[in-house]
Chain A
């Protein structure tokens, strides 16, 4: 099995998707000949032609509006927004159009074939316009699915799952892992179903929950805790919407403690939704309040990036407070 980084895994997933379904069309700013600013779409135009992989003008609302129409027609668009921070001109198209096509037409029309790929997250000295984690905005849109992979294996399987899912999917790619995360990725075609979390480490004392690039952060905190004799269960949520509440609840009923980590600002982050749901479902099992270790309620800073991040040390300290509650 070949070792791939996250970008190569995404590239491979796109090749698989385009090879197995001639309706798949890939486009966005600079994705054509150049292969995207991160090179996730490298060589797709060479392989599949300019009609199926192409540059668009520089207009995010145009890209998603076009993608909505293309999806409604029955093609399978995979649209790239160059940075998650630049998705907001397309917010209207996503909120009012992508997500509501099916509902408003009584199921006659839909954008179900659409996948929107976009890099998100910090840790790359990108300041507030190349670092944001916008998943919570999109978790509030009935009709849309939101998916975040943590490594190359997951990225390939989840992206194929997203492209083949019968609902529009926002696929958020943790850009600081693009080249940093490397693992074995099977060459064959495989899709990971959406909406399912994964328990990636079994434990008994506390559940640590994260997604995307923060999964490795909570894993590091779990390693630190292990030296104190603490057994952590680590869950990768993988899908933000719909999310696998049962998987998280099962774990919390076992460990009695839940710590959620996300990079986005804490207030109205997706951790809030998880905390509310879990306290309802697991109230009598909880040994301590559900706790969040998240970004600050500030725009994403540059000089203070390291201080802003919900890193393993902040996670470890919060974890200790939960155990001693």
Chain B
């Protein structure tokens, strides 16, 4: 056994000098400028036309889905929604750099990753209408998706809890010898939770092949980033924990893609975590329960609308000759109608039978929950009008 020497690499100084904040000066990787033109010395990622279009479609689909569902919430058809608007490149650009075997642990604004993986309109709608076709059985609020087949972990509302879990999941993947890693998404607000610090440290110390992707979108509900942290964003913390780190323009799909491709290579080959800080902006309200006019100016929002990731990507694709305006219009129209159709179908589907209320609490239903279920079913039979969603069943 070697003797430990935790002072081994520490240089000496004889000046009383307290290190100031901001010495790291972490730059931001940018490949496409705001107009969708390549920066002169930037290198395009290796991206086939097919994959580029798949990314573009996923971003547009996400925007359409968000618009439709915010409207559906306003109409009272669903109770809640949370849009990804403005952050599509950060989410889709990173998801596109993964293998389908990689596990995605998201926060709650990463529907674009699910779209990219092939989650269908019907699946989105069944979750949001909490109906009996929802694989999560209607137990969670809208937008808490999860799909085992697509390697997308079911979303939990408490912030940051998925960060140490991602380290653990990735450790398990490594132990099992899988050529796969875990990507963990979260926002700069969630990075204030203790779980962020625990998760990064655990991943670094235990050599977990995990990509931590922070969407630094400037706001945690109403709280601006400057009231969230005093240091240089989230990236500087990765370095503090000994985690390889890169900061990217989160509204640049090519930069996000390139960074994630590189991060994935390193994470898998070295069995180590990588932190990506994607600098973006939450153009949407926090959720349909929120009204940003109470805490930020329209002017500020407009500035960021000019950096729209979809418009930027579209210009690049048009210039490449990979996309035409006609195609875009047709695709948008087709997606819009597909989403609306799926919505109309899902809202007609009943919720799960009442029997289900005690299922999945444990692997099997223990005696006390059986008792509670029987009593509940008897009670509903006695007062059918009071429980219209479940009274009509043949339980």
Partners in one complex: yes
> Given A34-B222, A307-B390, A313-B379, are A129 and B156 also a contact pair (CB < 8 Å)?
yes
A242 at the interface (CB under 8 A from B): no
Per-position 1/0 for B320-364, Cβ under 8 A of A? 000000000000000000000000000000011010111001000
A296/B372 contact (C-beta < 8 A), A29-B220, A37-B289, A58-B189 known: yes
**Complex Cα–Cα for A130 and B190 (A):** 17
B41-49, B133-141, B308-316 - the one binding chain A: B133-141
Is B222's CB under 8 angstroms from A298's CB? no
A57 to B354, CA, bound (A): 41
Contact of B221 with A by CB under 8 A: yes
**Of residues 78 to 123 in A, which have CB atoms within 8 Å of B's CB atoms?**
85-86, 88-89
CB of A289 within 8 Å of the partner chain: no
Binds A, one of B83-91, B251-259, B380-388: B380-388
Once the chains bind, are A29 and B223 in contact (CB under 8 Å)? yes
Q: Quick check: is A61 within 8 A (CB to CB) of the other chain?
A: yes
- Shortest A111–chain B CB gap in Å is 20
> Considering the chains assembled together, what is the distance between the CA atoms of A125 and B73 in angstroms?
13
B84 to chain A, nearest CB (A): 19
Please provide the chain B residues from 241 to 291 with a CB less than 8 Å away from any CB of chain A in the complex: 289-290
Supposing A34-B221, A34-B295, A61-B194 touch, asked if A298 and B141 sit within 8 A by C-beta, the answer is no
Residues of A close to B390: CB separation below 8 A: 304, 307
A54 to B224, CA, bound (A): 12
Give chain A residues whose Cβ lies under 8 Å from the Cβ of B194.
59, 61-62, 89
The smallest beta-carbon distance between A275 and chain B, in angstroms, is 16
The interface residues of chain B lying within 8 Å CB-to-CB of A266 are 372
Q: Does B3 contact A (CB under 8 A)?
A: no
> Are A58 and B223 within 8 A (Cβ)?
yes
Kindly identify, within residues 289 to 318 of chain A, every residue whose CB is under 8 Å from any CB belonging to chain B: 296-299, 301-304, 306-308, 311, 313-314, 317
Which residue from chain B places its CB closest to the CB of A33 in the assembled complex?
A: B295
For residue A188, give the distance in angstroms from its CB to the closest CB of chain B.
30
Known: A29-B220, A89-B195, A304-B390. A130 touches B157 (CB 8 A): yes
Interface string of B115-151 (1 = CB under 8 A from A): 0000000000000001100000111110010000000
User: B157, B192, B356, B372: which contacts A58 (Cβ < 8 A)?
Assistant: B192
A127 interface contact, C-beta 8 A:
yes
Question: Which residues of the other chain, B, contact A313 by a CB distance below 8 angstroms?
Answer: 379, 382-383, 386
In the assembled complex, B206 has its CB within 8 A of some CB on chain A = no
Inter-chain CA distance A100–B74, complex, in Å, is: 47
A126 CA to B389 CA, complexed, in Å: 17
- The answer to the question of A128 belonging to the interface, with a C-beta cut-off of 8 Å to chain B, is yes
Q: Are A127 and B144 in contact (CB under 8 A)?
A: yes
Known: A297-B372, A299-B139. Is A125-B227 also a contact (CB below 8 A)?
Answer: no
Which residues of chain B have C-beta atoms less than 8 A from A299's C-beta? 139, 361
Q: A57-B192, A58-B193, A129-B158 are in contact. Are A297 and B368 (CB under 8 A)?
A: yes
Q: How distant is B118 from chain A, measured CB to nearest CB, in Å?
A: 25
Separation in Å of the B196 CB from the closest CB of chain A?
Answer: 9
Nearest CB of chain B from residue A308's CB, rounded to whole Å: 7
Chain A: minimal CB distance from B141 (Å): 4
Q: Are A37 and B389 in contact (CB under 8 A)?
A: no
Q: In this assembly, does A77 line the interface, its C-beta being within 8 Å of a C-beta of chain B?
A: no
Which residue of chain A lies nearest to B197 when distances are taken between CB atoms in the complex?
A59
Contact of B376 with A by CB under 8 A: yes
CB distance from A132 to the nearest CB of B (A): 11
A35 to B387, CA, bound (A): 37
CA distance A60 to B193 in the complex (A): 7
Partner of A303, one of B189, B192, B227, B389: B389
CB-CB < 8 A to B382: which residues of A?
A: 313, 317
Query: A102 CA to B60 CA in the complex, in Å?
Result: 58
The residues in A between 41 and 83 inclusive whose CB is less than 8 angstroms from any CB of B are: 54-55, 57-62
- When C-beta atoms are compared, the residue in chain B nearest to A313 turns out to be B383
| B51 interfacial contact with A, CB 8 Å | no
CA of A61 to CA of B195 in the docked complex: distance in angstroms? 10
Is B357 touching A314 in the complex (CB atoms < 8 A)?
no
Interface contact A59-B193, CB-CB below 8 Å: yes
Residues of A with C-beta under 8 A to B159: 58, 86
Of B79, B158, B221, the residue contacting A125 (CB under 8 A) is B79
Does A32 lie at the interface of the complex (its beta carbon under 8 Å from any beta carbon of B)? yes
Residue A21 is within 8 A (CB to CB) of chain B in the complex: no
The answer to whether A304 touches B79 (Cβ under 8 A) is: no
Is A151 located at the chain interface by the 8 A CB criterion? Answer: no
- Pick 11 A–B contacts, CB within 8 A, sort by A: A34-B222, A58-B223, A59-B192, A61-B194, A88-B158, A89-B194, A129-B158, A299-B361, A303-B137, A304-B351, A306-B386
- Give me the 6 closest cross-chain CB pairs, A-B, nearest first: A303-B138, A129-B157, A34-B222, A57-B192, A127-B141, A303-B351
